[in-house]
């Protein structure tokens, strides 16, 4: 067995297998958005709070389950490469499994925190998302996945990270310009919240995402989600650069991914 493998329980199929050293945030996100390739792939790390090029990986998944993530990742990579500041982007039926796979991995990552419960809605959601990715259920309902595209002046789109609010039944995951919200406990939402969330729900058959110009709280995003976004931008996002360099780069070129 190579150093890149060890035996253990795969966190998706729950079988005892050889495990791969798997990325929590998809590998392409680092190269395409988070890492400063001119500085040896460095970024400001969530885990270490300083610049590093150590991507977050864990021996969590078997080869077969890694491939389950991979199919949806390839189409997400293509979609995100086409994002611009103003044009809507079409997505197909692989965005939902991609969003679920990112949410599930981020949730596992959040479970490292001692404050996370060993049972309850978060654990139920983890089971639902696993079963959906394994093809044992056709939909992740009653959990839902919501997507937002961000290409902003502050260059937050060059980030990745995750934050969970158990009080609001929400997990936010960012992978570059794609912000994914996973609702794991709908009982905490008001009927007005549900109306707002319905606008950003990821359609299992495909649909269109429009870049968000501003977060319109109360009409397009709920106040709970806005609060989580603020925490994420302040504390839970690994970033490519400091602001000064980001501004210099922004002036130098357009935000169209295909030019990067
Ligand atoms: Zn597996």
Distance from the alpha carbon of residue 78 to the mean position of ligand 1, in angstroms: 25
**Mean pLDDT highest for which of 18-27, 44-53, 226-235?**
18-27
Distance from the alpha carbon of residue 19 to the mean position of ligand 1, in angstroms: 8
Distance from the alpha carbon of residue 67 to the mean position of ligand 1, in angstroms: 9
Strands in 144-150's sheet, in edge-to-edge order, are 51-52, 43-44, 237-239, 159-165, 170-175, 178-183, 144-150, 211-212
Total number of domains constituting the chain: 1
Distance from the alpha carbon of residue 246 to the mean position of ligand 1, in angstroms: 39
Do residues 150 and 179 lie in contact, with contact meaning Cβ atoms separated by under 8 Å?
Answer: yes
Phi/psi for 190 (5° steps) reads -85, 170
pLDDT at 68: 92
> What confidence tens digit (pLDDT) does each residue in 27-81 have?
999 888 888 877 777 777 766 667 787 888 999 999 999 999 998 999 999 999 9
Distance from the alpha carbon of residue 158 to the mean position of ligand 1, in angstroms: 30
pLDDT at 235: 74
Check whether 256 has a pLDDT greater than 60: no
Distance from the alpha carbon of residue 9 to the mean position of ligand 1, in angstroms: 8
Check whether 248 has a pLDDT greater than 80: no
Q: Which residues contact 30 (CB under 8 A, 6 or more apart)?
A: 41, 43, 55, 160
Distance from the alpha carbon of residue 153 to the mean position of ligand 1, in angstroms: 40
Check whether 257 has a pLDDT greater than 60: no
pLDDT at 15: 97
Q: Which long-range contacts (CB under 8 A, 24 or more apart) does 123-127 make?
A: 124/184, 125/182, 125/184, 125/185
Domain around 51: 5-259
> What global pTM score does this model have?
0.87
3-state secondary structure at position 32: helix
Distance from the alpha carbon of residue 240 to the mean position of ligand 1, in angstroms: 31
Least confident of 117-121, 179-183, 246-250: 246-250
Do residues 71 and 100 lie in contact, with contact meaning Cβ atoms separated by under 8 Å?
Answer: no
Check whether 247 has a pLDDT greater than 80: no
> What confidence tens digit (pLDDT) does each residue in 100-155 have?
999 999 999 888 777 778 888 999 999 999 999 999 999 999 999 999 999 877 77
Distance from the alpha carbon of residue 252 to the mean position of ligand 1, in angstroms: 44
Q: What is the mean pLDDT of the chain?
A: 85
Distance from the alpha carbon of residue 52 to the mean position of ligand 1, in angstroms: 29
Distance from the alpha carbon of residue 23 to the mean position of ligand 1, in angstroms: 14
Distance from the alpha carbon of residue 166 to the mean position of ligand 1, in angstroms: 27
Better-predicted residue by pLDDT, 41 or 200: 200
* 3-state secondary structure string across 156-217: HHHEEEEEEECCCCEEEEEECCEEEEEECCHHHCCHHHHHHHHCCECCCCCEEECEECCCCE
Check whether 200 has a pLDDT greater than 70: yes
């Amino acid at each position: 067995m190579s150093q890149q493998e060890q035996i253990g329980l795969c966190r998706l199929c729950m079988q005892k297998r050889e495990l791969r050293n798997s990325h929590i945030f998809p590998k392409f996100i680092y190269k395409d958005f988070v890492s400063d390739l001119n500085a040896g792939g460095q970024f400001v790390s969530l885990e270490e709070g300083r610049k590093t090029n150590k991507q977050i990986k864990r021996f969590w998944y078997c080869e077969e389950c890694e491939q389950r993530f991979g199919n949806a990742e390839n189409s997400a990579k293509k979609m995100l490469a086409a994002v611009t500041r103003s044009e809507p982007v079409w997505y197909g039926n692989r965005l939902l499994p991609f969003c679920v796979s990112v949410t599930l991995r981020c949730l596992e990552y959040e479970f490292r925190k001692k404050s996370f419960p060993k049972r309850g809605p978060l654990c139920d959601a983890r089971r639902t998302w696993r079963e959906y990715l394994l093809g044992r259920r056709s939909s992740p309902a009653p959990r839902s996945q919501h997507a937002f595209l961000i290409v902003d002046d502050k260059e937050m789109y060059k980030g990745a990270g995750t934050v969970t609010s158990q009080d609001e039944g929400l997990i936010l995951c960012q992978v570059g310009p794609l912000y994914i919200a996973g609702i794991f406990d709908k009982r905490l939402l008001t009927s007005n919240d549900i109306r707002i969330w319905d606008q950003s729900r990821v359609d299992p058959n495909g649909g269109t995402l429009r870049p968000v110009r501003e977060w319109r709280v109360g009409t397009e995003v709920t106040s709970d989600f806005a609060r989580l976004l603020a925490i994420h931008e302040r504390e839970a996002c690994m970033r490519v650069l400091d602001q000064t360099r980001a501004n210099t780069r922004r002036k130098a070129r357009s935000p169209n991914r295909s030019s990067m």
